[in-house]
């Protein structure tokens, strides 16, 4: 007896349409997502036991992040070079060196950046220089 084997079709699943749909969904979500760039610097202030000074109406506040990035009155600078800082401070102060100059630096900021800001303030002739600290917690 000679039986013929039936040749069955090979069962396969075509994944091409599934991959196309996944790529279309990926493209849809990439295009419909809005990206916002926040320019806030996160800083961790050192602590002090003294009372905070009263804020002035007009002041120049230089914020230094832990990485050494500068921000003046909540506007980030393009770099942390001395000339860039000097030009930005001169523009904001308008030549008035009696404006309070406040340095707010992260506790992990390199000493080099704080000294650079203090040096720029001294070169421009600011007389009201203060450094922001965080009040230490009472025990």
Tokens of 53: 């000074």
Digit-coded pLDDT (tens) for 58-73: 889 999 988 889 999 8
pLDDT above 70: residue 52: no
Domain enclosing residue 72, as ranges: 47-135
Asked, for residue 64, whether it belongs to a domain, the answer is yes
Which contacts of 3-9 are long-range, i.e. CB under 8 A and separated by 24 or more positions? none
CA count, 13 A, side-chain hemisphere, 112 = 8
Asked, for residue 10, whether it belongs to a domain, the answer is no
Asked, for residue 16, whether it belongs to a domain, the answer is no
Domain count, the chain: 1
Higher pLDDT, 115 or 10: 115
Tokens of 19: 């991959």
- Whole-model pTM? 0.57
Asked, for residue 25, whether it belongs to a domain, the answer is no
pLDDT above 60: residue 139: no
Write the CA distances from 117 to 19, 44, 45, integer angstroms. Answer: 55, 18, 16
CATH of the domain at 74: 3.30.420.270
């Amino acid at each position: 007896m000679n039986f013929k084997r039936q040749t069955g079709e090979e069962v396969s699943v075509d994944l091409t349409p599934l991959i196309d749909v996944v790529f279309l969904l990926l493209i849809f979500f990439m295009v419909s997502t809005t990206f916002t760039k926040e320019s806030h610097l996160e800083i961790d202030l050192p602590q002090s036991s003294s009372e905070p000074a009263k804020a002035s109406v007009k002041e120049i506040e230089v914020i230094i992040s832990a990485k050494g990035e500068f921000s003046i009155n909540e506007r980030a600078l393009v770099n942390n070079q001395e000339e860039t800082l000097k030009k930005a401070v001169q523009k904001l102060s308008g030549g008035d060196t009696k404006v309070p100059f406040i340095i707010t630096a992260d506790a992990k900021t390199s000493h080099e950046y704080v000294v650079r800001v203090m040096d720029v303030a001294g070169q421009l002739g600011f007389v009201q220089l203060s450094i922001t600290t965080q009040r230490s917690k009472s025990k």
